[in-house]
Structure 1
Amino acid sequence: MIARPRDLADQMSGTQQSQIFTLPVDAARCKAREFIDQPPRSGFLPVIEKWRQLPDGQIEFAIRHLPTVD
């Protein structure tokens, strides 16, 4: 189910290139930090979004690669 207009726009444009992770809190911090610390590759910058805590205490987040501004 599409929750927001932005999700619909991403789906229609075909640019939604996200990876979704579900990890314990400490592992989620480490994984997110890995992506934040790496330099942009091939003109794309990793962005952490949709970060939320699940009822079981794990963290779910998505990493999307957005084009950099040249």
Structure 2
Amino acid sequence: MLPPKPPRSTVGRQLQKSRQIAKLRTDSFVRETYRLERRDARRKAREWFDRYPKAAYWTQVESWRVLDGDVIEFTMRRLPTAD
């Protein structure tokens, strides 16, 4: 049996709070947020990992969530250069 999902209002508040915190960050990571259908989201993440290899740019999916209609909202993060 799957655990119950949290109410959307709670998830929305948590997401808003994390976005506000993200604006205050002073780190040097480059971030981009996308909202894409599942197949396109996977393709976009793969593009990032191919273009910015994890070993050199510390590329990662920083956060993600599933929206209605099988749409994925996710944030990709990487270093601006591979020194």
The answer for the alignment partner of 1:25 in structure 2 is 38
Q: Considering only CA atoms, is the larger Rg found in Structure 1 or Structure 2?
A: 2
1:67 Cα deviation from its structure 2 partner? 6.4
- Alignment length (residue pairs): 66
TM-score calculated relative to the size of structure 1 = 0.63
Residue pairs, 1:36-47, within 5 angstroms: 36-40=49-53, 44-47=57-60
Gaps of 5+ in 1: none
Equivalence for 2:17: 2
Q: What is the Cα-based RMSD across aligned positions, in Å? A: 3.2
Distance change >3 Å, CA 2–CA 16, structure 1 → 2: farther
On the 8 A contact 1:47/1:66 being kept in 2, the answer is no
Letter in 1 for 2:17: I
Aligned 8 A contact 1:45 1:68 in 2: no
CA distance in 2, matches of 1:51, 1:63: 9
Alpha-carbon distance in 2 for matches of 1:51, 1:60: 5
Give the unaligned 5+ runs of structure 2.
Answer: 1-15
More strand, by proportion: 1
Q: CA deviation at 1:31?
A: 0.4
Q: Report the TM-score, using the length of structure 2 for normalisation.
A: 0.56
Once the two structures are TM-superposed, the CA of residue 28 in structure 1 deviates from its matched residue by 0.4
User: Identity of counterpart residues, as a percentage?
Assistant: 35
